[in-house]
Amino acid sequence: AAAAATPGITILDHTIATGISTAGGAVTGVEAVDLASGEGLSFEAAAVVIATGGAGWLYSHTTNPDVATGDGIALAYEAGAELADLEFYQFHPTAFRGDGAPPFLISEAVRGEGAVLRNAAGEAFMAGYHPLGDLAPRDIVARAIVAEMRAAGSENVFLDCTVARGVDLAARFPAIFAFCQGQGIDMRSAPIPVAPAAHYLMGGVRTDTFGRTTVPGLFAVGEAACTGVHGANRLASNSLMETVVFGKRTVECLGEAPRGAERDPRAIVDGVDGGPAPGHGTLQALMWDFAGIERSHEGLERALGTATGWANSPARPTREWHELREMGTLARLMLKAALLRTESRGAHYRSDYPEQDDRHWARRQVFRRGN
C-alpha cells in the first residue's frame, strides 16, 4: 500500500517479467506479459533490480509463499549474470506438518525456551545426535528429524512445549500460539507435529556489496542475491539485516548504472496460447526427494535429467508455463552445483560424501550461461 501511494512508482498487477533485455553487454530493460490480455510489454531501463525473493516453491514442503519460484534468479542467469552457491539451501527443521495445513514455521526460539523434540514413540532424541541437543545447528536438527521419521515410518516428529516451565507461551510466541490454536492444538498442553521444510537459499545472483551483478545495470537484493555473507549455512535473522544494509547500498548505486543502447518498445507476443502447464508438483517432489536435506550422486543425476527437460521447454505466455520453465532452469543449476560438490558443508549434505573436504572444496562454485 505504501509503495502504491508513492509518487513515481507504478505497480503492474497480473504482469510477469519474461526476460531481461541487454545490448552491448549492459541492461536495456525488461520484457513482460500482461496475463489478462496476453499483450507483450517492453520497458526501457538503465537499471533493473532483481528483488524476487528465494526459491522455496521448488520443493514440496516450504515455508515460502507460492511466488517464491526463483524465476528472478533464472532470468538474471539468462541475461548473462553469474550465479553462486546454489548448492546451499537451508531447510528449517521445525515447520508445522498437518493435513491440509501450510508448513508454518515454528521458530527455534521455542526450543530455546526449553521445548523438546520427540519421535513417534515419545522419546527425546536430539541428545543422541549432537552435544547441544535440541539447540544444535539447523542442518543437524533437520537431518536428525528425517532419520527419526524414516525409522518410524512417520510424516513428522513432535515439538513438546509442555516442558517449557515458567514460560507464558501465548505471550512469548503469539503468532505461533494463534496458528496452533487455529489447527486445534494448544501448545501449552499438547505437542506440535513438525517436520523440516525448505526455507532459505544462501545462493543466488552473485553481487558485490552494492548489489551490482556481473551485468552492468543489473542489480539484485534480498534472497535473490548472493552476497556471500551467509556462507554455506545462514545464521537466523541475518538475512533481514542483509536486506536492509545491502538494499540501501544498492539504491545509492542505481544512479551510476550505465545506459544501454536505445531500442523501441515492442510487443513480444500476439496472444495467450497453449493451455495449462504440467503441474509443479512433479518437479517439487523430485527436488524434495533428491536435492533436499540428504543428497547422493544417484539421486541428483536422476533429478537433473528431468529438470533439464523442463528448463528447455518452449516458453508460453502464461504464468504457469513461464514459472515452470524458469523453475526448471534454476533447479537444473542447483542440482548441478550439488552434484559437483563432492563433500558435505553447511546446509549441503551428501550421504555419499559425508565429510567436509577443505583440500578440494574450500571454494565457491559460480555458474554463468555457457559454462
Please report, for the domain that includes residue 114, its CATH number: 3.90.700.10
For residue range 238-255, list pLDDT tens digits in order. Answer: 788 888 888 889 998 887
Q: Which residue has the higher pLDDT, 334 or 235?
A: 334
Among 165, 196, 227, identify where a domain stops: 196
Whether the CB-CB separation of 46 and 330 falls below 8 Å is answered with no
- Give how far Cα 350 sits from Cα of 141, 181, 218, 362, Å: 16, 38, 34, 16
Q: What is the pLDDT of residue 89?
A: 97
For residue range 61-81, list pLDDT tens digits in order. Answer: 999 998 899 999 999 999 999
What's the chain's average pLDDT? 89
Query: Could you tell me whether strands 225-226 and 204-206 are parallel, antiparallel, or unpaired per DSSP bridges?
Result: parallel
Torsion of CA 169, 174, 175, 176, to 10 degrees: 10
Same domain, 319 and 361: yes
Q: What is the pLDDT of residue 317?
A: 56
Please give the distance of CA 44 from its chain centroid, rounded to a whole number: 29
Same domain, 82 and 212: yes
- Give how far Cα 216 sits from Cα of 26, 266, 288, Å: 5, 23, 35
Same domain, 101 and 79: no
Residue 8 maps to a domain: no
- Strand order from edge to edge, sheet including 225-226: 225-226, 204-206, 83-84, 366-367
Same domain, 206 and 188: no
Q: What is the pLDDT of residue 96?
A: 97
pTM (2 decimals)?
A: 0.89
203 grid coordinates: 545462493
Same domain, 139 and 261: no
Same domain, 118 and 77: no
Among 196, 216, 251, identify where a domain stops: 196
Residue 9 maps to a domain: no
Query: Which of 97, 111, 138, 316 does the annotation list as catalytic?
Result: 138
Name the band, by pLDDT with cuts 50, 70 and 90, for residue 275: very low
Name the band, by pLDDT with cuts 50, 70 and 90, for residue 30: very high
Same domain, 234 and 256: yes
Say whether 364 is catalytic.
no
What range does the domain containing 34 cover?
A: 16-88+202-367
Residue 2 maps to a domain: no
Please report, for the domain that includes residue 29, its CATH number: 3.50.50.60
Residue 223 maps to a domain: yes
Same domain, 183 and 206: no
Among 196, 218, 242, identify where a domain stops: 196
Q: For 40-49, 93-102, 279-288, which range has the lowest pLDDT when averaged over its residues?
A: 279-288
Total domains, the chain: 2
Same domain, 119 and 257: no
Q: How far apart are the first and last CA of the chain?
A: 42
